Amino acid sequence: MQISFTKNTNPGKMPPENKLGFGSIFSDHMFVMDYTDEKNWHNARIIPYGNISLNPAASVLHYANEVFEGMKAYRWADGSIHLFRPYENANRINISAERIGLPQIPVDMFVEAVKAVVKVDESWVPHSEGTSLYIRPFLFSTDPELALHGIHQAQFVIILSPSASYFAEGLKPVKIMLETEDVRAVRGGTGYTKCGGNYAASNRAGDKAMEKGYSQVLWLDGVERKYIEEVGAMNIMFKIDGVAVTPALNGSILGGITRKSCVELLKSWNFPVEERLLSVDELIGAAQNGKLEEAFGIGTAAVIAPVGALSYKDREYMINDFKIGPLAQKLYDELTGIQWGKKPDNYGWTENI
């Protein structure tokens, strides 16, 4: 792929690494590429980070035709920079795009674009433990057309954000709230995709949870409101009576790459792991009879986020005395060990840029 380059003549400055937070600081450049039915993908360019100009009729602004990815670049001790399973993100953006009717991006083109823009801004990959360069590829329709005539014009953009932990708590446990009224997704809908609309549907419950002092919402399935699905920005895993349990991918849950990696690691350790339906009654029953040993969210931004308390119908259940559990810690150590090049990558998950 030919990528043109326009250098940012007014570069920014990386803030102190202990002040990074998550997703609010951006590097000097971004990748942009256009699509039309006639020309297919074209005009790949790396340009200074800045505003995007859109026709006010651009269909993304009216009909939310947008999908995105979340991935990270990690700086290893020798200074080299690595991605984690980037082909998984490339495949998933196409699964999302297919559902929304957006044009798909050839997988190699996606990975090449990510590598190219990270390389240009490699000085923005932070050095400190627990930090990384969060990569946000996104794809949206630009057709200036209010009628619903399908998508014939689109743009693909990649922006980069040096980040620390998603939760201000870091690896300290967070509190989550089981949502019983709003639902995020239903089977047959878009729940299995990473489309912006899923997050819009989550806002009201998320705001309510935050007002009550909870970090995020734990969703129930949209039909029976009986089965545990996932959290606002991550998948969820529990340790119940010695077994790792995570909700099965049933069409309304995002197939997380962290979730997949954790399941693969657990299997390689011969640790019992089940991907299955998990009802709220079973979960709360386990919390009541002391069999809910651990709970933790799993996702790129959050990595492993131990859940110390779970609220359901105005009762709060404390999990593992509000401490990180041994399984969450072991998965965190192994996963971040591979990502930061401190442990051997026996699976070929890391990709040098």
Exactly one of 299, 306, 308, 341 binds ligand PLP (CB under 6 A); that residue is 299
Exactly one of 191, 206, 299, 325 binds ligand COI (CB under 6 A); that residue is 299
Exactly one of 139, 257, 263, 305 binds ligand PLP (CB under 6 A); that residue is 257
Is residue 209 a contact point for ligand COI (CB under 6 A)?
Answer: no
Is residue 94 a contact point for ligand PLP (CB under 6 A)?
Answer: no
List the one residue out of 74, 79, 26 whose CA is nearest residue 51: 26
CB of 102 to ligand PLP, least distance (A): 18
Q: What are the CA-CA distances from residue 260 to residues 85, 109, 232, 257, 294 (Å)?
A: 11, 23, 18, 5, 18
Is residue 96 a contact point for ligand PLP (CB under 6 A)?
Answer: no
Judged by CB, which is closer to ligand PLP: 66, or 145?
66
Q: How far apart are CA 211 and CA 205, in angstroms?
A: 10
The DSSP secondary structure of 288-329, one letter per residue, reads HTT-EEEEEEEETTTEEEEEEEEEETTEEEE-GGGS--HHHH
The DSSP secondary structure of 72-86, one letter per residue, reads EEEE-TTS-EEEESH
List the one residue out of 240, 254, 258 whose CA is nearest residue 327: 240
Is residue 252 a contact point for ligand PLP (CB under 6 A)?
Answer: no
Is residue 253 a contact point for ligand COI (CB under 6 A)?
Answer: no
Is residue 195 a contact point for ligand PLP (CB under 6 A)?
Answer: no
230 binds, among ligand COI, ligand PLP, none (CB under 5 to 8 A by kind): ligand PLP
Q: How far apart are CA 329 and CA 304, in angstroms?
A: 8
Is residue 85 a contact point for ligand PLP (CB under 6 A)?
Answer: no
List the one residue out of 22, 304, 309, 328 whose CA is nearest residue 168: 22
Stretch that binds ligand COI, among 30-38, 123-131, 145-153, 297-305 (CB under 6 A): 297-305
CB of 164 to ligand PLP, least distance (A): 16
Stretch that binds ligand PLP, among 7-15, 73-81, 203-211, 233-241 (CB under 6 A): 233-241
List the one residue out of 191, 186, 327, 298 whose CA is nearest residue 235: 298
Is residue 70 a contact point for ligand PLP (CB under 6 A)?
Answer: yes
The residue ranges of DSSP E strands in 66-120, in sequence order, are 66-68, 71-75, 81-84
Is residue 86 a contact point for ligand COI (CB under 6 A)?
Answer: no
Exactly one of 26, 35, 70, 113 binds ligand COI (CB under 6 A); that residue is 70
Token pair in block for residue 87: 């082909």
Exactly one of 104, 258, 311, 336 binds ligand PLP (CB under 6 A); that residue is 258
Neighbouring C-alpha atoms within 13 Å toward the C-beta of 327: 27
Q: How far apart are CA 223 and CA 227, in angstroms?
A: 9
In the complex, the residues that contact ligand COI under the rule CB under 6 A are 70, 233, 299-301
In the complex, the residues that contact ligand PLP under the rule CB under 6 A are 70, 230, 233-235, 254, 256-259, 299-300
